């Protein structure tokens, strides 16, 4: 398992319809929560100013965004 760190960009691997999030969206990890399983608080920005969505996601739902060269 690759470690995901705070302030790292991640890509959503599954839809989260209850929050209006779709697979492929890019977010930033705000914090990591431990116990009983590890989850990541990820913030997804929206087009409107001061409008963002934060979600607690499991490791399987996100992947590190690859940096472009």
| Residue 27 CB contacts under 8 Å (≥ 6 apart), including other chains | 9, 10, 11, 12, 42, 43, 44, 45, 55, 62
Report pLDDT for 68: 58
User: Is 35 a domain residue?
Assistant: yes
Cα–Cα distance, 64 to 5 (Å, whole number): 9
- CATH number of the domain to which 30 belongs: 2.30.30
Task: Read off the pTM.
Answer: 0.86
Do 23 and 13 meet the contact criterion of CB atoms below 8 Å apart?
A: yes
Let me know if residue 3 belongs to a domain: yes
64 belongs to a structural domain:
yes
> What is residue 3's predicted lDDT score, i.e. its pLDDT?
85
pLDDT tens digits, one per residue of 10-35: 999 999 999 999 999 999 999 999 98
pLDDT (tens digit per residue) in 32-50: 999 899 999 999 997 777 7
| Residue 52 falls inside a structural domain | no
Please tell me the total count of domains within the chain. 1
Residue 9 counted as domain residue = yes
Q: Is residue 51 part of a domain?
A: no
The pLDDT score that the predictor gives to residue 67 is 65
Residue 34 belongs to domain spanning: 1-46+59-69
């Amino acid at each position: 398992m690759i470690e995901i760190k705070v302030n790292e960009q991640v890509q959503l691997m599954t839809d989260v319809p209850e929050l209006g999030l779709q697979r492929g969206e890019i977010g930033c990890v705000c914090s990591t929560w431990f116990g009983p399983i590890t989850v990541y608080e990820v913030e997804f920005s929206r087009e409107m100013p001061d409008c963002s969505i934060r979600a607690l996601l499991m490791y399987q739902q996100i992947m590190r965004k690859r940096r472009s060269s």
